Chain A
Amino acid sequence: DQQVKQNSPSLSVQEGRISILNCDYTNSMFDYFLWYKKYPAEGPTFLISISSIKDKNEDGRFTVFLNKSAKHLSLHIVPSQPGDSAVYFCAATLDYKLSFGAGTTVTVRA
C-alpha cells in the first residue's frame, strides 16, 4: 500500500531553470514531510523537510511547499545546477516510521 506517491519517474531540466518535483500522499495523519537526494552507489541524504503545520519551507535554492487539503507536496529547486542530477525521494512520517515515494530521477542539462 503506497501511501506516498511520486508519479513522475523522471524529470529533465535545463541548467539555470526551475525544477519542480511533485509528491502526493494518502494518509492525512502524516506529521512531517521530507525530501532526500540520492546519487548512484550512495545512500540517500536528507535535503529539506516541512512540518504538517506549515505550508512552506525554504533553504537556499530549495523550497518545499505543502498543500494539506490536496495532500500534495512539491520541491522547487531554483536555479537547477548540474550537481542536482540525482534521484529525489519524498517521504512522510507517522509515529517515527518513514514512508517513501518511488523516487524521481532529475537530469539537469547543460
Chain B
Amino acid sequence: KAGVTQTPRYLIKTRGQQVTLSCSPISGHRSVSWYQQTPGQGLQFLFEYFSETQRNKGNFPGRFSGRQFSNSRSEMNVSTLELGDSALYLCASSPGQLTYNEQFFGPGTRLTVL
C-alpha cells in the first residue's frame, strides 16, 4: 500500500507570495490533518479534514487555509507569505475518525520563505 505523499517536497518562495501544498492520503483513508514543524515550536496542528469538511482547526491566522477533495486528496494554501512561515509542513492521514495509532504521516514539504 502506498504511503502518504506530499508534493512538492521542497519549495522556495518570497515574502508576499502565496503557496499551495498538496497531500495524497493512503488509499481508503478519509481523514487528512496538516501540521507545521519549526525548530523551536515542534509540531503544531493546523487543521483536519474529513469527507471534504474541515472538522478541526488550530490557532493559525486566516492566511492558512485548506480543502479536501472528493477523492480525499487535500491541499493547503498559505497567502501573503511571511518569513516565519518557513517550516516543514506535514500531512497525515487516517482511515476515518482520527485514531492516532492509525495515523500515518507523509515526508513533508519544506517551505523556505525569502
Chain A interface residues toward B at CB < 8 A: 1-2, 4, 6, 32, 34, 41-46, 49, 89, 91, 93, 95-103
B50 nearest in chain A by CB position = A96
A4 — which chain B residues lie within 8 A by C-beta?
42
Chain B interface residues toward A at CB < 8 A: 4, 33, 35, 39-45, 48, 55-56, 58-59, 90, 92, 97-98, 100-101, 103-108
Contact at B100–A97, with CB atoms within 8 Å? Answer: no
Q: Which has the most chain B C-beta neighbours within 10 Å: A45, A95, A100?
A: A100
Shortest distance between the CB of A25 and any CB in chain B (Å): 13
Instruction: Give the residue of A1, A2, A43, A91 whose beta carbon is less than 8 angstroms from that of B90.
Output: A43
A1 nearest in chain B by CB position = B59
